[in-house]
Amino acid sequence: MSTHTPGAGAGVAGWQGLLARQQRWLMLLIGLVFLLIVSSYLYRGGFYGQLVTQMLIFAIAAMGVGFLGGYGGMVSLGQASFLGLGAYGVAVPMSDGADPWTAIVISLVVTLAVALLTGLLAVRVRGISFVIMTLALGQILFGLASSWVDLSGGDNGLIIPVAPTLGPLDLNDPIVLSFTVLVVFVLAVLALRTFVASPFGLALRGIKSNEQRLKTLGYATRLHLYISWVISVMFAGVAGILFVFTNGLITPTALDFGHNGIVTLMAVIGGLGTLWGPTVGAIVIMLFQNYLSLYFERWATVMGIVFVAVVIFAPEGLWGLVTKFARRLTRQKAARGQLGINEVPVGDAGAETESELPDPTTEKVQQ
């Protein structure tokens, strides 16, 4: 493995090298084909148009989980509740008569405020305790939504009568709204890609690898994790705003434990620490929920079993498997330096790293 001769890095010959150099273009091609397929569904609308729209929305939320969990090493189990927070952030002011744009601004501000506050707690715990804490936070938000009836409408939820208009674009037209979701999705992907490739993202991966080491390299690691937490929650909040306008309704169920788990499953099944994993996961799981369920009543059982199987047999996730396979195909280290960060899954799959590292601090950090 380590028999590298000087100069080997300069020019890797053969088709493998070519494939490696062209990987950027390959990814772009895949992205374009993806956009084309998605657009055709969205344009046709109807059941599948709605389904794809919801996939995109949940993909945005799952990206937040993937970012914090895959790059920062902190897997959140409260993301659907933050999605719900974003949705209620719109629905509550609108039911008090606010216009849609005001409601959107209020929602963003509220979600940001909650993210800033909960972040203070989130960065105090790691590993298992972090997961448990996010789950508890999520359940508390769920509890507020179902029991603070004056504000949230209780179990009946709140109905959104009207979507905003943006110049000539009327988002009350479901197809226009769907394409707006697509635009936001693309922006979210680009943002994530940018964050991950930045010095901040690099440090985040370092923190996941060994937080203590980053401290002795001059990093206030809690600050990085705090900012990542806020970003992750904001992804959920934005998804929530899209969710409430596309569904016209928000109920506490969307914030419950089952949904929290599902958003996390999306990120994990797709692959933590990969750019496209959460999207792949959202597509797979929503197909289970909305397509398999048409033919098979016990779809949730199947989904649970598939998920357990992924955790055991493919801990790097489905997209993680794809990239691993691609990397094996273009197997030479010299090419790695030229790849964008998104094509390289972050080392070991997110879920496993902590326990595999023979690092004496692991135990301490997890508590």
Partner 1 sequence: MNQFIVQTLNGLTLAGIMFLVSSGFTLVFGVMRITNLAHGAIYLLGGYIAYSTIQLVGNFFVGVIVAGLAMALLGIVLERTLIKRMRGQVMAELLATLGLVYVMNDLALAVWGGDPLSLRLPGVLRESTTLPGGIIYPNGRMFILFLAVVIGLALYFLLRRTRVGAIVRAGVDNKAMVSAMGINVRLVFTMVFALGALLAGVGGALGGTVLSLAPNADAEILTFALIVVIVGGLGSFEGAVLGSLIVGLLSNYGQAYFPALAYFALFAPLVLVLLVRPQGLLGRTAA
Partner 2 sequence: MTTSTASAVPPAPAAADGIALSVDDLGRHFAGVKAVEGVTLSVASGSRLGIIGPNGAGKTTFFNMLSGELKPTSGRIHLFGRDVTSLASHKRVALGLGRTYQITRVLRGMTVLENLAVATHGLSGSKLDLLRPWRRYSAKVEEAEALGASFGLRHRLNAYAEELSHGEVRQLEVCLALALKPKILLLDEPAAGLSPAERVDIRNLLNGLPKELTLVMIEHDMDVLRGAVDDIAVLHLGELVTRGSVAEIQRNELVRELYLGKRRQIDRTAGADPADSDGKAPHA
Q: Which does 218 bind (CB under 5 to 8 A by kind): partner 1, partner 2, none?
A: partner 2
Burial code of 233-254, b = ≥16 C-beta within 10 A, e = fewer? Answer: bbbbbbbbbbbbbbbebbbbeb
Comparison of 193 and 248: residue with beta carbon closer to partner 2: 193
Q: Which two tokens stand for residue 279?
A: 């999207």
Q: Least separation, in Å, of the C-beta of 313 and partner 2?
A: 21
- Residue 208 makes contact with partner 2 by CB under 8 A: yes
How many residues bind partner 2 (CB under 8 A)? The answer is: 46
The Cα 267–Cα 144 span in angstroms is 26
Residue window 187-206: x/- pattern of binding to partner 2, with contact defined by CB under 8 A: -------xx-xxxxxxx-xx
- Name 158's bridge partners: 250
Question: Which among 141, 1, 21 has a CA at the least distance from the CA of 85?
Answer: 141
In whole angstroms, the minimum distance from the beta carbon of 29 to partner 2 comes to: 21
Q: Does residue number 365 form part of the binding site for partner 2 (CB under 8 A)?
A: no
Residues forming contacts to partner 1 in the complex (CB under 8 A) are: 75, 77, 120-121, 124-129, 131-133, 135-136, 139-140, 143-144, 147-151, 256-258, 261, 264-265, 268, 297-298, 300-301, 303-305, 307-308, 311-312, 315, 350-352, 354-356, 363-364, 366-367
* Cα 249 from Cα 157, distance rounded (Å): 7
Q: Taking the complex as a whole, how short is the minimal distance between the CB of residue 317 and partner 1, in angstroms?
A: 11
User: Alpha carbon of 278 to those of 164, 196, 205, 262, 312: distances in Å?
Assistant: 28, 14, 17, 11, 18
**Distance spanning both ends of the chain, measured CA to CA:** 36
The total number of residues shown for the chain amounts to 367
Closest CB to partner 2 among 2 and 367? 2
Render the burial of 67-84: b for 16+ CB within 10 Å, e for the rest.
bbbbbbbbbbbbbbbbbb
Give the position of tokens 């004056």.
150
Smallest distance, Å, CB 67 to partner 2?
A: 11
Q: Which is nearer to partner 1, 197 or 300 (CB)?
A: 300
Identity of the residue, 44 or 215, whose beta carbon is nearer to partner 2 in the bound complex: 215
Q: How far apart are alpha carbons 181 and 247 in whole angstroms? A: 12
User: Is the separation of the CB atoms in 79 and 263 below 8 Å?
Assistant: yes
- Using CB under 8 A as the binding rule, the residues of this chain from 140 to 159 that contact partner 2 are none
Tokens of 155: 């179990």
Nearer to partner 2, 141 or 207 (CB): 207
**Residue 57 interacts with which of partner 1, partner 2, none, CB < 5 to 8 Å by class:** none
Is 223 a binding residue for partner 2 by CB under 8 A? The answer is yes
Which one among 64, 348, 351, 354 touches partner 2, defined by CB under 8 A? Answer: 348
Q: How far is the CB of 10 from partner 2 (least distance, A)?
A: 10
| Shortest distance in whole angstroms from residue 217 CB to partner 2 | 4
Nearer to partner 1, 49 or 320 (CB): 320
Residue 4 or 298: the one with the smaller Cβ distance to partner 2 is 4
Residues in 8-27 that interact with partner 2 by CB under 8 A: 8-9
Binding site partner of 220, from partner 1, partner 2, none, Cβ cut-off 5-8 A by kind: partner 2
Provide the H-helix boundaries in 97-173. Answer: 100-122, 127-147, 149-152
Question: Which two three-digit tokens encode residue 276?
Answer: 């496209």
Phi, psi of 159 (to 5 degrees): -105, 140
Q: Which is nearer to partner 1, 126 or 324 (CB)?
A: 126
Rounded (5°) CA angle 239-266-264: 80
H-run or E-run covering 158? strand 158-159
Beta strands in 219-287, from DSSP E residues, in sequence order = 249-250
Instruction: Report if residue 174 touches partner 2, rule: CB under 8 A.
Output: no
**Chain residues in the site for partner 2 (CB under 8 A):** 1-2, 4-6, 8-9, 194-195, 197-203, 205-206, 208-210, 212-221, 223-224, 227, 333-334, 336-337, 346-348, 353, 357, 359-361
